[in-house]
Amino acid sequence: MRRVNSAVALLGAAFGMMLAALSGATAATAKPPNIVYIVADDLGYADVGYHGSDIKTPTIDGLAKGGARLESFYAQPMCTPTRAAIMTGRYPLRYGLQSFVILPEQTYGLPTDEKLLPQVLKDAGYETAIIGKWHLGHAKPEYLPMQRGFDYQYGPLIGEIDYYTHEVHHVVDWYRGDKPLHEKGYSTTLLGEDAVRYIDGRSPDKPFFLYLAFNAPHTPFQAPKEYLDRFKDIKDENRRTYAAMIAAMDDQIANVLNALDKKGLRDNTIVVFQSDNGGVRDSMFAGEIETKGDLPASNAPYRNGKGSLYEGGTRAVALVNWPGHVNPGEVNGLIHVVDMLPTLAGQAGASTAGTKPLDGMDVWKTISEGAPSPRSEIVYNVEMFRGGVREGDMKLIWQTPLPQRVELYDIAKDPKETTNLADAQPETVAKLEARIQELAKESAKSLFMEATMGAYLHRELGTPALPNDPAFFEQKD
């Protein structure tokens, strides 16, 4: 019997090794997934149907129902920093993009010594495309998307555009292949249609990365009548138009998913959807294009919105959907936007060699299985005048201009940030202040602050500010 048992054990071990080998071979020969990464611009946390909104978003809701709803997903407080974090997997404070956004007249951009997500994926054999808003540098050729790893580009380089004329300050901001393009149409519709064309042109034999970055629902509040008519019951004009803009984006996302289905690609495509920050609640951050009336976005139940370090500014709508690979359900583990580069690279079989030291972590098991997050820290941002960091449940916001203000919140117990615990927990404050100081010492100088002060000094001295690239700024109305 002992001989029989030994033989059975040996056969079992051999069979197990054979299965493992077959499994490894299957994994090695499996097609890398396509990646469609969709970003909304200034979408309020509460302004999607699955968060209880009166704004109907059936496509986004369907993705949420069938995928991972990332309910503790953190972006940066504003547009340029979040987009930089997606592209680099590193905190924007590392390379000077921690403050505000790149303005139309400014000439700086995401430093060219940073290796970006499209470059990482391209090295792994992916085709890469950006359709939509870039906002990481527009004034010099080396900052443009097709110099940063994208094979194809279409849409605005800045993004704060009129939805029909595609102009910002009477200059057209609309491009294809990094070349100016004069074209009529509602920008959300044009971006969705181009994404469908892009998918239709893909071969099933080669994986692709499509970064689809809508400028909706950023100001100005503009929408086609057919969408406005859907929300006649909303009395406030801005809220009605804002809702219509979101619905138009939702329809275009539906068209993109249908295109994937028609090509037989949906089951092997990771779809990511997120907002770049919270919705706008402070008119200071509503954009340079004048907007009248009340600001319509809601980040309920969270405090404040875009531009702030409170939860309403940084906890973003986010989900990941990949049929058969991501378990549907709510995911509450901490995830920072910098985590997306290493996480997606891992699923693509791509190497992160050549990137600078990443702040992001591979959180795929958290996303796909609901496993505990490897992340315990969230860096909201660190600038010369403020910093925000969370360790575990405790979050510190430190406003450093005199008189300084220190706020400490237990986010697990007080997600609305109503009770400041700073006086009651001085040791926790000291620990988190030390972490902010550490990050501040590691920070690069703010390129926005340098550019803004430089322009101001030029004007004060009676000399012109540095000119931007004529290819962008010398277009005629």
Using only the alpha carbons of the chain, give its radius of gyration. Answer: 23
* Predicted pLDDT of residue 251: 98
Taking the C-alpha atoms of residue 267 and residue 260, their distance in angstroms, rounded to an integer, is: 9
Distance CA 419, CA 232 (A): 39
DSSP structure class, residue 315: B
Which pLDDT score, from 0 to 100, does residue 474 have?
Answer: 43
| Calculated CA dihedral for residues 170, 41, 90, 363, nearest 10 degrees | -160
What confidence tens digit (pLDDT) does each residue in 397-448 have?
999 999 999 999 999 999 999 999 999 999 999 999 999 999 999 999 999 9
> Where, residue-wise, is CATH 3.40.720.10 in the chain?
32-376
Crossing angle for the helix pair 58-65 and 237-262, nearest 10 degrees? 60
Give me 89's structure tokens: 């997997």
Instruction: Say yes or no to pLDDT of 43 above 90.
Output: yes
Classify 290 as helix, strand or coil.
coil
d(CA 254, CA 189): 12
The CATH architecture assigned to 385-442 reads: 2-Layer Sandwich (3.30)
Higher per-residue pLDDT: 427 or 19 = 427
**Cα–Cα distance, 42 to 331 (Å, whole number):** 22
What's the CA gap between 401 and 385, in Å, rounded?
Answer: 6
Instruction: Supply angle C-alpha 460, 463, 465, rounded to 5.
Output: 90
pLDDT for residue 288 = 55
State pLDDT tens for residues 135-152. Answer: 999 999 999 999 999 999
Q: What is the pLDDT of residue 460?
A: 60
Please, what's the b/e burial string for 193-219 (b: 16 or more CB within 10 A of its CB; e: otherwise)? ebbbebbeebeeeebbbbbbbbbbbbb
The string of pLDDT tens digits covering residues 324-342 is 999 999 999 999 999 999 9
Measured distance CA(434)–CA(141) in Å, rounded: 40
Between CA 415 and CA 188 the distance in angstroms is 33
Which pLDDT tens digit goes with each residue over 270-312? 999 999 999 999 877 776 555 667 899 999 999 999 999 999 9
What is the per-residue pLDDT across 378-387, written as a single tens digit (0 to 9) for each?
Answer: 999 999 999 9
The full DSSP string for 283-349 is GGGS-SS---S------TTSS--TTSSSHHHHB--EEEE-TTTS--EEE-S-EEGGGHHHHHHHHHT
d(CA 270, CA 292): 39
Is 325 labeled as catalytic in the residue annotation? no
439-475 pLDDT, tens digit per residue, is: 999 999 999 999 988 776 666 655 443 334 444 444 4
**pLDDT of 27 strictly over 50:** no
Instruction: Tell me the mean pLDDT in the region 159-187.
Output: 94
List the Cα angle 301/302/304 in 5-degree steps: 130
**Spatial distance between the Cα atoms of 220 and 386, rounded to a whole number of angstroms:** 29
User: Among candidates 216, 188, 212, 217, which has minimal Cα distance to 260?
Assistant: 212
Handedness of CA 288, 292, 297, 302 (dihedral sign): positive
DSSP string, 18-77: HHHHHHHHHHHHSPPPEEEEEEESS--TT-SGGGT-SS--HHHHHHHHTSEEETTEE--S
- Residue 368 is encoded by which pair of tokens? 């796909």
What's the count of helices (H) and strands (E) in the chain, helices before strands? 13, 18
Q: Quote the longest CA-to-CA distance of the chain.
A: 99
Q: Does domain 32-376 sit in CATH 3.40.720.10? A: yes
Q: Phi first, then psi: what are they for 377, rounded to 5°?
A: -115, 140
Predicted local distance difference test score (pLDDT) of residue 60: 98
| Per-residue pLDDT tens over the stretch 77-117 | 999 999 999 999 999 999 999 999 999 999 999 999 999 99
Which pLDDT score is estimated for 287? 66
CB 160 within 8 A of CB 218: yes
- Does 21 score more than 60 pLDDT? no
Which tokens go with 327? 């378990």
Residue written as tokens 């058969």? 324
pLDDT tens sequence across 202-254: 999 999 999 999 999 999 999 999 999 999 999 999 999 999 999 999 999 99
All CATH 3.30.1120.10 domain ranges of the chain, comma separated, are 385-442
Q: Are strands 34-40 and 208-213 parallel, antiparallel or unpaired?
A: parallel
Strand partners, 40: 275
Residue 362, Cα to own-chain centre: how many angstroms?
Answer: 16
Q: Which of 135, 138, 166, 218 is catalytic?
A: 135
* pLDDT at residue 306, rounded to an integer: 97
Contact (Cβ atoms closer than 8 angstroms) between residue 318 and residue 70? yes
User: Rounded mean pLDDT of the chain?
Assistant: 91
Q: How many CB atoms within 10 Å of residue 475?
A: 14
Buried b (16+ CB within 10 A) or exposed e, 65-89: eebbbbbbbbbbbbbbbbbbbbbbb
Backbone angles phi, psi at 282, to 5 degrees: -120, 125
SS3 state at 318: strand
One-letter amino acid identity for 443? S
Q: Residue 336 catalytic?
A: no
Residues in the chain: 477
